[in-house]
Structure 1
Amino acid sequence: MKKMLLCLTLIFFCLTSVGCWDIHDISNRALITAIGIDKVEETSTSYTFTFEIINPVNIIEEHHETANIIETVEGTSLREAMEKLQVKVSRLNFLGYLQVVLIGENAGRKSVKDISDMIFREPQIASRTRLMFVQDGEAKDILEAKPKLAKYVAAELVAMTQLEYELSLARNQTFYQFLNELRSTDGRGFVSRVLATENNKTIVRDGGAVFNNWELIDWLSSEETQAANWLVGKSDATVVGHLDQGIFTYRSDEKKLKIKPLKQGEGPRVQISLHTNGQILSKQGSNMELTRPGNLKKLEKLFSDVIANQIRSAVQKSQAAGVDYLGIGTAVKGKNPKLYQSMEWEKAYPTIPIDVIVTTEIEDVGLLE
């Protein structure tokens, strides 16, 4: 009995003490919140890594406008860059708080397989980390810009992404969501864009970046991204329509999307059906009484046409590029795998007929009357 108690005591001691020897106090770590990755030269295998590190003293003290330290090193991999960074800071580098990875346009124009792989293989990086591509500039430009409403750039960018359900003008994805999209489509994808304007003094996160064969091939404006987001986004959207010399603003609060293949005599085609529920936010230059059922029907028809035209423009741009970054093929494959295979979707996509049907329901006109 005594031997058994002694054994249980020893086991308990071992279980409770395991791992304690390697614990690092967070106050002794250099918290990296953002990484910028830029290509050094066209033919080089090296990258410029720009790190944003939190300055804890400036976080606490309110009179400091910013609380970030920017360090830049060159390396062929993230791990090598981390080692070079370590000799420049007095605390242990830590990626567990990494929020944003920014990739400059020159780096994105090359295959992002290597960059994605080095990020994916870093065990400290969390799945919530956001990935953004920088148009007309380098990732370093964004990290050196001054945030407006936060003390460091990563916090500013993350705050923007948290408006996902309020902002349809930007593409929102985590790094792992984008990586899974690329892997499942042989390198086709649609991810967030960010810009630095006014001599790198202002950060703008809108629009999107289009990928094919793992390479950045095109940019989408905020308007083009809103159109694409009817098919791939989760956000609500605000649209404007003109009727009888009046200007009306409609807010979509809920949507139901269906994409299905159709077989017809002339060959296969695809039908996109979207139903939205929402409310009228404003009207200008019109005396229309919105409480009348007939007038509401007119407005529902108006916004059905506006949204349908947006979706058609998104489809046309995607087909013109020859890249199905809208996920239409994925939906077709899920509905009819045999048809998808027989069509050779990637080849057929640019010319396949795609019908768009939109119905809009106005549930509320607010206090306009």
Structure 2
Amino acid sequence: MITPDRLRLLHVVIDPDLNEPGNVIVAQAGLGAGGILQRAGFLPGRASIYGHPSDPWEKADYRLPAGLTREQRDQAASTATEALRRAGFTVDLYEPMSTPVNTPLADAGECLGDRINALAEQVRCAPTTTEVAAALAELSAPGDGALYALHNALAAAASWADDLASEHEDLGDVAERLADLAEKTETIGRRLSFARGDLVGTHRTHPLRGRTAPGALPDPRMVAGPHPDMLQPWSSTDFGGKEQTTAAMRETAVESREFYEGVLAGRLTVDWHYVTSELGYLVAGVTDHRAGLSMHIVDEGGIVSLSETFASTAAASAAGPRFIETFEPLADAPEKVLTALRGRARAAASRSLRAAPPVGAAPTASGPAAPAPADRTHRR
């Protein structure tokens, strides 16, 4: 049930499908909830890549696969509900499906994708080819690199499916597709190793990348605070009006209105925003202190949708450049943004030169270096 202190954008409903009693349909599942749902055993329904609906008016729905027993269905629904609530979502679970969870899902920040996303943020802000090459080694390294391990996992799945193909013909095609993906992943790993070798030998500095000053936003495109349109009565869209002809459209409009009312009332803190130069989308990082999480949202013509959720404001801000670049590559940014990036890169290079010891100076004795803090950027 939605309560006044909870945001509708963070609301998930898990109900049986009346037309298919053995299945479960999940309403309002954006990318943040989608990752948890898939790990609990749900499959995306009418949705595009990564569980995102192609239309901002639509909702991505998730279903459990056919053929589950009632006990398996209830366990999957309850496991998803527990994990979603821990992540700050409000969940309405059909009461007869509620059951004690046998194996809880991992908490935020403990998934493999989180660690690779942290690596992506490290690459994005790296000022030199040497640092990029060092980060890419985590992907391309033979034996324990991420791509090597991914190839092994896909090859194992292909072999497993192929073992059953003689008895279950429908698995033959699945085995072939998995084997093809394993082969392509191996090829990607080899080509990445060659590209990484070329980077190591160049010793170049990127003109648009540089270290961020303490406390500063990680990208000049990210403007601190809300956009002016977020601080005035939103009149460009008739929320819940007659032109929203379906129940889903009306619900989406109400969610958008509630979001902006929360901003105006101070219940939601807009940490930063950016307006894309071509399509005029408003993207922003927002913290909901009541739910104990931060999120990325996108406003398309007055309709707000939730993209990702994060465990902290710092994690959401660190992932801000990546979020912006899903809508607008850095090379397409306005010239004033590129100029600001070049200036910051030059300042970072200057600081590095000042910090370097004079040529020929004797090295100073020091104790063991303190370990660098772990980058816990979390994409869910």
TM-score bin, normalised by smaller chain = under 0.3
Give the strand-richer structure, 1 or 2. 1
Greater relative contact order structure (CA < 8 Å, 6+ sep) = 2
Normalising by structure 2, what TM-score? 0.20
